[in-house]
């Protein structure tokens, strides 16, 4: 599944880093603790979080995260958006909460990996 394929099902607003919309999504990780993401997220995953500051992009870049989804209507501040543009890592905003967003993404990924069941 590509990053842009999450936009409609997750009600995403693309905020920045739009050159990365065609990146491949391998999974998802939901956490607001940065060291948890640093220690456990994997390359190509989508990171779902409420944290919207600059360090989120630093971590996303180091971990080669496919995209970041900010939940409950959070938006990246100017610094975060500009870092996301520089790194080409898309940042989205969704009105959904982390539980709802994770559930939908999980369903999308399952449908993408088990053809015929979707």
Partner 1 sequence: MEFHYHIEGGDFSRAGSASSEIKKILKQLNVDPRVVKRVVVALYEAEVNVVAHAREGEMKVALGPGVIEATISDKGPGIPDIALAMQEGYSTASPRVREMGFGAGMGLPNIKKNCDRLDIESVVNAGTTVKMTTFFTG
> Are 117 and 6 contacting, i.e. CB atoms less than 8 angstroms apart?
no
Q: Which of 12, 37 has the CB closer to partner 1?
A: 37
From the number of C-beta atoms within 10 Å of its C-beta (0-12, 13-18, 19+), residue 80 rates as buried
Q: Which of 69, 108 has the CB closer to partner 1?
A: 69
Residues 6+ away with beta carbon under 8 Å from 14: 7, 21, 90, 92
Closest approach of Cβ 105 to partner 1, in Å? 20
Closest approach of Cβ 65 to partner 1, in Å? 12
- Residue ranges in contact with partner 1 by CB under 8 A: 32-36, 38-39, 43, 49, 51, 53-55, 58-59, 61-62, 79
Q: Which of 59, 69 has the CB closer to partner 1?
A: 59
| SS3 state of residue 31 | coil
């Amino acid at each position: 599944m590509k990053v842009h394929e999450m936009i409609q099902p997750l009600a995403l607003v693309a905020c920045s880093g739009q050159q990365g919309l065609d990146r491949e999504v391998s999974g998802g990780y939901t956490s607001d603790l940065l060291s948890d993401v640093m220690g456990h997220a994997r390359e190509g995953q989508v990171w779902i979080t409420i944290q919207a500051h600059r360090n989120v992009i630093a971590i996303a870049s180091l971990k080669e995260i496919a995209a970041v989804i900010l939940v409950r209507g959070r938006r990246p501040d100017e610094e975060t958006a500009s870092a996301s543009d520089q790194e080409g890592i898309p940042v989205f905003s969704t009105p959904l909460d982390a539980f709802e967003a994770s559930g939908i993404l999980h369903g999308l990924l399952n449908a993408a990996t088990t053809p015929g069941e979707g």
